[in-house]
Structure 1
Amino acid sequence: MAKVSSKDLGTQPIGKLLIKQAVPASIGILVMSLNILVDTIFVGNWIGPTAIAAINVVLPVSFFIAALGMAIGIGGSSIISRALGANNIEKALTTFGNQLTLTFLFTVTFAIFGLYFVDSLIPAFGGKGNIFDPAKIYYEIILYGVPILGFVMLGNNVIRAEGKPKFAMYAMFIPSVGNLVLDYLFINVLNYGMAGAAWATTGSYVVAFLFILWYFLSENSELKITTSQFRLDKAIVFEIGSLGFVTLARQAVVSVTFLLVNNALYNFGGETSVTAYAIVGRMMMFVLFPVFGMTQGFIPIAGFNYGAGAYERVKETIYTAIKYATILGTIVFLGLMLFPETITKLFTSDADVIRETPSNLRWAFAAVPILALQLIGAAYFQAVGKALPALLLTLTRQAIFFIPLMYILPLYFGELGIWMSFPISDVLSTIVTGYFLNREIKKTLVAKI
Structure 2
Amino acid sequence: MAKVTSDALGKEPIGKLLIKQAVPASIGILVMSLNVLVDSIFVGNWIGSIAIAAINVVLPVSFFIAALGMAIGIGGSSIVSRALGANNKEKALKTFGNQITLTLLVTVVMVALGLYFVDTLIPAFGGKGSIFAPAKIYYTIILYGVPFLALCMMGNTVIRAEGKPKFAMVAMIIPSVGNLLMDYIFIYVFDWGMHGAAWATTAGYLMCFGYILYFFLSKNSELKIGLSHFGLDRSILQEIGSLGFVTLARQAVTSITYLLMNNILFNLGGEAMVAVYAIIGRMLMFALFPVFGVTQGFLPIAGFNYGAARYDRVKESIYTAIKYAALVATLVFVVLMVFPAEIASLFLSNKPHLPAEELATNAFVLQHSPLAMRLVFAATPIIALQLIGAAYFQAVGKAIPALLLTLTRQGFFFIPLILLLPQFMGEMGVWLSFPIADVLATMVTGIYLVREIKTKLSGLVA
**TM-score (structure 2 length as normaliser):** 0.87
How far apart, CA to CA, are the structure 2 residues paired with 1:62 and 1:301?
30
Question: How far does residue 182 in structure 1 lie from its aligned partner after superposition?
Answer: 2.7
Residue 113 of structure 2: aligned partner: 113
Conservation of the 8 A alpha-carbon contact between 2:302 and 2:396: yes
How far apart, CA to CA, are the structure 2 residues paired with 1:344 and 1:132?
23
Residue 284 of structure 1: aligned partner: 284
Residue 302 of structure 1: aligned partner: 302
Q: Which range moves more in the overlay, 265-274 or 76-85?
A: 265-274
Question: How far does residue 30 in structure 1 lie from its aligned partner after superposition?
Answer: 1.7
Question: How far does residue 413 in structure 1 lie from its aligned partner after superposition?
Answer: 5.2
Matches within 5 A, 1:94-243: 94-116=94-116, 138-189=138-189, 195-243=195-243
Please state if 1:431 is matched with 2:443: yes
Matching residue's letter, 2:305: N
CA deviations on 1:231-284 (whole Å, 9 max, x unpaired) are 111111011111111111111212222333344455556666555444333322
Matching residue's letter, 2:173: F
Q: Which range moves more in the overlay, 229-238 or 312-321?
A: 229-238
Matching residue's letter, 1:445: L
Residue 324 of structure 2: aligned partner: 324
User: Using a 3 Å threshold, how does the CA distance of structure 1 residues 356 and 131 change in structure 2: closer, same or farther?
Assistant: closer
Q: Which range moves more in the overlay, 437-446 or 181-190?
A: 181-190
How far apart, CA to CA, are the structure 1 residues paired with 2:224 and 2:43?
41
Residue 381 of structure 1: aligned partner: 393
Q: 1:370 aligns with which of 355, 374, 382?
A: 382
Conservation of the 8 A alpha-carbon contact between 2:37 and 2:282: no
Other structure's SS at 2:97 match: helix
How far apart, CA to CA, are the structure 2 residues paired with 1:162 and 1:6?
5
Matching residue's letter, 1:77: S
Please state if 1:442 is matched with 2:454: yes
Other structure's SS at 2:458 match: helix
* Unpaired runs of at least 5, structure 1: none
Matches within 5 A, 1:400-411: 400-409=412-421
Matching residue's letter, 1:20: K
Other structure's SS at 1:224 match: coil
How far apart, CA to CA, are the structure 1 residues paired with 2:44 and 2:77?
37
Please state if 1:359 is matched with 2:371: yes
Matching residue's letter, 1:312: D
User: Using a 3 Å threshold, how does the CA distance of structure 1 residues 416 and 399 change in structure 2: closer, same or farther?
Assistant: same
Residue 92 of structure 1: aligned partner: 92
Question: How far does residue 344 in structure 1 lie from its aligned partner after superposition?
Answer: 3.9
**TM-score (structure 1 length as normaliser):** 0.90
Give me the identity figure in percent. Answer: 71
User: Using a 3 Å threshold, how does the CA distance of structure 1 residues 146 and 130 change in structure 2: closer, same or farther?
Assistant: same
CA deviations on 1:308-359 (whole Å, 9 max, x unpaired) are 1000000000000001111111112222333334434444595554454433
User: Using a 3 Å threshold, how does the CA distance of structure 1 residues 430 and 128 change in structure 2: closer, same or farther?
Assistant: closer
Residue 430 of structure 2: aligned partner: 418
Matching residue's letter, 2:23: V
Matching residue's letter, 1:303: G
RMSD of Structure 2 on Structure 1 (CA): 2.9
Residue 398 of structure 1: aligned partner: 410
Question: How far does residue 66 in structure 1 lie from its aligned partner after superposition?
Answer: 1.1
How far apart, CA to CA, are the structure 2 residues paired with 1:270 and 1:130?
10
Residue 15 of structure 1: aligned partner: 15
How far apart, CA to CA, are the structure 1 residues paired with 2:316 and 2:415?
34
How far apart, CA to CA, are the structure 1 residues paired with 2:131 and 2:433?
34
How far apart, CA to CA, are the structure 2 residues paired with 1:421 and 1:134?
29
* Unpaired runs of at least 5, structure 2: 351-361
Question: How far does residue 379 in structure 1 lie from its aligned partner after superposition?
Answer: 0.5
CA deviations on 1:348-395 (whole Å, 9 max, x unpaired) are 595554454433333322221111001100000010111110010011
